[in-house]
Structure formats: structure tokens, C-alpha cells
Amino acid sequence: MKANLKVKIGKLELKNPVMVASGTFGYTGEFGDFLDVKELGAVVSKTITVKPRSGNLPPRTCETPAGMLNSIGLENPGIEVFIKEKLPSLEKINPNIIVSIAGEIPEELVEIIKCLNKTKIKAVELNLSCPNVKREKFIGLRPETLIAQNANWTSRFVSTARKATDKTLITKLSPNVTDIAEIALAAQNAGSDALALINTVQGMSIDVRTRKAKIAMGVGGLSGPAIRPIAVRMVWEVYQKVKIPIIGMGGIIDTESALEFFIAGATAISVGTANFVNPGVSVEIINGLFKYLQKNKISSVQKLIGSLECKV
């Protein structure tokens, strides 16, 4: 029996369900010496905005127990430079390119999407959940409030983006909420083809010798194995409420941790922080999934999705 790893996210057909998370894989060229990027199901770009962003002040990262904090601040060259200088090489490396985008107002998403509609990219990920930026444009929410922390604004951003493109639309959600299922439903009902969860958990680390925060901005986004139980729980909660595919992420470091997400309800998974420790881990997980399915005589990875046995 040959195990089938193929999955579908909206219109996006993947030969396997393993991708790399936005912001953790650069523009892929940095990882060419460690793995064959063509083997990945998909590649998610760094988040792109309308205009270039220089990001937050350093220091912007620090290690924590079983994870790391970051406050990069969506540093990127802007959509025009991205399409001209970054995208061509991305398209040569992997045919399934998902471009992560962000905007302070819905109209900025439309401006970016109109540019992307002219390209061959397969899908757009709406990053409505980066905890490391503050809006300067007023939309009725406090500047520090994430779009993905408000169901109504999530709906507005997603519906605006939906009207602007026929490409597969993925909405990336925040764990820093009371009820993530409520936000997930808002995104689904507004036209999102899939959900990506979770983004980083807000956290802080302090240098007790200097009594200063280890991140210049004070608070950063916590990622790595430390947040995996939170991410798995949220994937499971959302899976029970929505009908669209879920891309699970948060602390995936090997095949076993990836399998947790599929069993909880994810259709695909995305590897993030682990890329910094083991650049070839994504391909190792692909091979591991194949072996797991064969060993357990499971014909398709799709039969694993949502197979959790839980009395709750």
C-alpha cells in the first residue's frame, strides 16, 4: 500500500500537507543548501505590506525555555520590490507559493492583492494577527488591538480581500483571544477558504541583571514547542465549528508533533521556529508522515484529519 499525502486547501492542491511558516524561512534561498524546497507542499513568504517596513528596534529576538520571543515588526521591502526582486526566485524554487500580506486598513489589502493577481502565485495568507506591530491608521480599534482579536473587523478585512481576488484565501488567526472559534467562524463566513492557526502568543522575558526586557519592544511573540499544547487545543476547538480547512502550526518540531495537529483537525501543517534549529526538518516530517501511514496501514493522510477520540 502506498500512502497518499495529497491534500487540498481551497483551489490549492498540495502533493503533501507540509509547508513552512511565514517569517521563518526567509525567501527560501537561504535554505537551499539544507533541503530541496521543491519537496515541500507549499512555501509561505514573509509578510508583505504596501510600503517597505524597517521593522522594530533591536534586540528583536531572544531564546526562552522551549521556544523563542520575537518582535521583528513585519520588516519587508514592500509589494513592488517583492514582486520585482523576490518573487521570481520563489516561483522557480516551488510552484506553490503562498504570499502572506498585512495592512492597517482593508484598502491596503486590496492594493497588495491587485498586484498579486497579476502573478502566478496560488494563494494569499491574510496576516491579521501579528502581535508585534501597532496601527497608525484609525479604524475604530485601539492601535494595539489585533484585527484577529475582533470578529467584526476580521469579517470586514476578509470580505474586502475576498472581493478582490479569486485566488485561495487563507486567514491567519491569533491565539490571544477569548474564543478563537468565534473569530474563525467570522473569517469563514466572510469568504476565507482556509484558516491558519495559530500565530505567536504574546509574552515577555526579563534580564534580571539589568532589569530590562530582553526584547526592545518589551512584549514579543512566543513561538516554539512551549506553545504547541495551546495550538493543538485551538485547532481542535476550531475544527469542531468550521467547515473549511485548517493549517495547523505552533511548536511543530518532528513527525510526532505534526501528527498531533492532523489528529486534532488540521488538513495541513506549517513548520516555523524549528527551521532555525534544524533547517531540513520539514522534509524529515514529510518522510515521517509517509512512514507513519504505511506502518499503521492508513491509505491517506486525510483519514487522520479530526480523528481524535475525546469524550469532551
Task: Please write the tens of the pLDDT for every residue from 116-154.
Answer: 999 999 999 999 999 988 888 878 888 889 999 999 999
Parent domain of 40: 7-55+73-201+224-303
Residue 170 lies in a domain: yes
Query: Residue 199: is its pLDDT beyond 70?
Result: yes
Task: State the pTM of this model.
Answer: 0.96
Query: Residue 230: is its pLDDT beyond 90?
Result: yes
Least confident of 79-88, 136-145, 234-243: 136-145
Structure confidence at residue 267 (pLDDT)? 98
Least confident of 41-50, 67-76, 132-141, 286-295: 132-141
Structure confidence at residue 94 (pLDDT)? 73
pLDDT band at 194 (very low <50, low <70, confident <90, very high): very high
Residue 308 lies in a domain: no
Q: Contact 176/149 with Cβ under 8 angstroms?
A: yes
Residues 6+ apart with CB under 8 A from 118: none
Strand ranges inside the chain, DSSP E: 7-9, 12-14, 18-20, 42-44, 61-64, 67-70, 97-101, 123-127, 168-172, 194-197, 201-203, 206-207, 212-213, 220-223, 246-248, 268-271
Structure confidence at residue 158 (pLDDT)? 98
Residue 101 lies in a domain: yes
Residue 218 lies in a domain: no
Residue 277 lies in a domain: yes
pLDDT band at 91 (very low <50, low <70, confident <90, very high): confident
Mean pLDDT of the 76-104 span? 92
Residue 149 is given by DSSP the state G
Query: Residue 29: is its pLDDT beyond 70?
Result: no
| CATH code at position 36 | 3.20.20.70
Residue 312 lies in a domain: no
Gap between the Cα atoms of 305 and 312, Å rounded: 18
Residue 234 lies in a domain: yes
Count how many domains the chain has: 1
Mean pLDDT of the 4-25 span? 95
Structure confidence at residue 312 (pLDDT)? 67
Specify the long-range contacts of residues 214-218, CB closer than 8 Å, at least 24 apart. 214/59, 214/62, 214/69, 215/59, 215/60, 215/61, 215/62, 215/69, 215/70, 215/71, 216/56, 216/57, 216/58, 216/59, 216/60, 216/71, 217/56, 217/57, 217/60, 217/71, 217/73, 217/132
pLDDT band at 92 (very low <50, low <70, confident <90, very high): confident
CA distances from 50 to 131, 201, 289 (A): 18, 25, 38
Residue 216 lies in a domain: no
Active-site position among 62, 115, 130, 310: 130
**ω into 147 cis (within 30 of 0):** no
130 in active site: yes
